């Protein structure tokens, strides 16, 4: 059977463009001689639609799009993802569904059974789980049609009580098709391939797996759709971080039966732990976080995250504060790659505490990248604040208050320029800083989109080296000099924080792996240091709760994927 995979980038709620894109791929599939074309999960409306699903008008538009697409499913079968209303009063009002369209009709609708509620997922908020499992016949082939999570319930510690494929295999399917919206993180792509391969190994069936691609605010979908033969041979691995199309010509064994299930497979690695960070050896955490393959993927994800956020929101130009430090340098380089150098404004805002090389390094970077930049010293504005506040501050000694006034002065300048010229402010804070509260609310924590908020400091350095892999773009002095906020004379990050190599090791164990203080201390890390770091993380949730959207690249990003109380005493 000739099956066409359409790995496409959708825009949530943009029914006109999504439908146009899907119909275009149907026409291409016909021209290629395909019998069936497969799209990703909730392709009609985009994933994740979240509370848009609570609007009847939104669901009506999904149905209207299906009717329009159905007219093009004449000589070719079409599998698309869209919500379906639940006709029963009991239960949720909607199903997450895969629709088979053929001969201008709806031939079958399959409901997603396993509805994830961990990390960024909240599907049970909206959808009723599927409770009937039937193969879908198409041109004499029984298809086991599933949706994303439905094929992930493998291993010795399964997350769900039901495995849809175990329900379907007794009906003698000859082919598995899975439509998916599986997000990117740097832990995930190899796991995803292995889960799909293990389904093939268990059920002895070929599989066509179509994944979404594109960024939806915080969440990046990396594509990488797959086709496997029944013998476990990989036929095709499609592009990552880009739309792609592929015509699979599969030989289908119509004699496949339930006897083919290999129930002896020991899938030890695929249990609940696969949904968290994998690196348990504390001595290898930094090596793992900064390995070249991870960093290359993070770079691609961040570029896509910026590009899609701006394109789908209708924004054109970005602005950021360029300090001569590593975080702003990496953010600027990635933004120029995503948006074009001419569309990224860098603003250098030296204070009386800024070193001369901070300005010269930032200037050298912008000259190398070719982006526009301005230099606006903040001393006069800062002094005006101090003059206005003198009756209140009186003669109290210099403290954090004066440091934060500098940061908020910079934030005000950036937002003023952004408002005047229609820029969107890119935030440059990294995950290590956000975790420990090392940032100023309404100052350097201001922004419309966080580029590095899910990237640890040691990974930021690795990104800088990756950006410089072919030539020096980020000046070497930016990479090698000790990091500093430069808010007081001689200040260094290490005055307030542990060395980043140690800090990131502890943060990864606590945030990604959810290890408690006892487990982390047992890794031969100083007890007082561990308790101090964990307290910083938990007592600064109020800051992160006011932060802008963060492009997600890890298994546990701050924001929608990590939900902890602001007011809580645990480890605080």
The residue from 35, 41, 337, 512 that is catalytic is 41
Closest CA to 431 of 520, 558, 300: 558
Kindly state the tokens that stand for 234. 């990989």
Catalytic residue among 61, 70, 112, 505: 112
> 311-318 long-range contacts, Cβ below 8 Å, gap at least 24?
312/11, 312/12, 312/14, 312/216, 313/424, 315/424, 316/343, 316/422, 317/343, 317/344, 317/345, 317/421, 317/422, 317/423, 317/424, 318/343, 318/344, 318/345, 318/423, 318/424, 318/425, 318/426
Q: Is 548 a catalytic site residue? A: no
CA 66, distance to chain mean position in Å, is 28
Q: Could you tell me the strand order of the sheet in which 317-321 lies?
A: 373-375, 344-348, 317-321, 423-427, 449-450
* Residue 148 annotated in active site: yes
Q: Give the span between the Cα atoms of 109 and 130, in whole angstroms.
A: 11
Q: How far is CA 540 from CA 440, 513, 535, 543, in A?
A: 11, 19, 8, 5
Residue 431 known to be catalytic: no
Distance CA 186, CA 554 (A): 6
Angle at 115 between CA 109 and CA 118, to 5 degrees: 155
- Which residue matches tokens 């090698």? 480
Q: Are 428 and 259 in contact (CB under 8 A)?
A: no
Report the C-alpha gap between 83 and 111 in whole angstroms: 9
Active-site choice (45, 62, 148, 163): 148
Q: What is the DSSP string of 278-346?
A: ----GGGHHHHHT-HHHHHHHHHHHHHHHHHHHHHHT--EEEEE--SSHHHHHHHHHHHHHH-GGGEEE
Active site residues: 41, 112, 148
């Amino acid at each position: 059977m000739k099956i066409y995979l359409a790995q496409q980038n959708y825009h949530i709620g943009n029914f006109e463009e999504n439908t146009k894109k899907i119909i275009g791929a149907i026409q291409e599939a016909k021209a290629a001689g395909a019998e069936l074309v497969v799209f990703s999960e909730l392709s009609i409306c985009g994933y994740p639609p979240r509370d848009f699903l609570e609007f009847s008008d939104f669901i009506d538009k999904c149905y209207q799009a299906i009717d329009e697409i159905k007219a093009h499913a004449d000589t070719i079968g079409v599998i698309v993802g869209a919500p379906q209303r639940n006709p029963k009063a009991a239960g949720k009002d909607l199903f997450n569904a895969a629709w088979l369209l053929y001969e201008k009709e709806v031939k079958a609708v399959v409901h997603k059974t396993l509805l994830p509620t961990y990390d960024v997922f909240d599907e049970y908020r909206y959808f009723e789980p599927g409770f009937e499992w039937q193969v879908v016949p198409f041109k004499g082939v029984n298809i086991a049609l599933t949706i994303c999570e439905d094929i992930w319930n493998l291993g010795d510690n399964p997350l769900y009580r039901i495995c849809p494929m175990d329900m379907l295999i007794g009906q003698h399917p000859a082919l598995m098709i899975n439509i998916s919206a599986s997000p990117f993180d740097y832990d995930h792509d190899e796991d995803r391939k292995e889960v799909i391969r293990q389904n093939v190994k268990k059920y002895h069936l070929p599989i066509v797996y179509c994944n979404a691609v594109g960024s939806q605010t915080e969440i990046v979908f990396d594509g990488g759709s797959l086709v496997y033969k029944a013998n476990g041979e990989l036929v095709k691995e499609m592009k990552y971080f880009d739309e792609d199309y592929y015509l699979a010509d599969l030989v289908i064994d119509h004699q496949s039966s339930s006897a083919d299930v290999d129930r002896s497979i020991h899938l030890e690695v695929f249990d609940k732990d696969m949904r968290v960070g994998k690196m348990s050896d504390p001595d290898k955490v930094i090596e793992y976080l900064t390995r070249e393959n991870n960093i290359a993927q993070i770079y691609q994800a961040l570029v896509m995250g910026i590009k899609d956020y701006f394109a789908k929101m209708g924004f054109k130009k970005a602005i950021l504060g360029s300090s001569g430090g590593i975080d702003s340098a990496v953010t600027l380089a990635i933004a120029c790659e995503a948006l074009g150098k001419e569309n990224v404004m860098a603003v250098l805002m030296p204070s009386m505490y800024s070193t001369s090389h901070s300005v010269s390094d930032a200037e050298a970077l912008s000259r190398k990248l070719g982006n526009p930049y301005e230099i606006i010293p903040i001393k006069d504005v800062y002094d005006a604040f101090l003059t206005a506040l003198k009756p209140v501050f009186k003669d109290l000694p210099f403290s954090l208050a004066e440091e934060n006034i500098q940061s908020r002065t910079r934030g005000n300048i950036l937002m003023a320029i952004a408002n005047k010229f229609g820029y969107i402010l890119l935030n440059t804070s990294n995950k290590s800083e956000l975790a420990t509260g090392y940032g100023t609310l309404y100052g350097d924590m201001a922004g419309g989109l966080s580029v590095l908020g899910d990237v640890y400091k040691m990974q930021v350095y690795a990104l800088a080296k990756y950006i410089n892999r072919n030539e020096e773009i980020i000046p070497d002095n930016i990479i090698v000099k000790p990091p500093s906020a430069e808010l007081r004379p001689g200040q260094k990050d290490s005055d307030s924080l542990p060395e980043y190599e140690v800090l990131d090791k502890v943060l990864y164990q606590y945030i990604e792996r959810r290890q408690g203080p006892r487990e982390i201390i047992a890794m031969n890390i100083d007890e007082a240091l561990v308790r101090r770091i964990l307290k910083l993380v938990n007592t600064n949730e109020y800051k992160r709760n006011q932060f802008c959207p963060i492009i997600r690249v890890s298994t546990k990003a701050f924001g929608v994927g990590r939900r902890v109380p602001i007011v809580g005493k645990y480890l605080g």
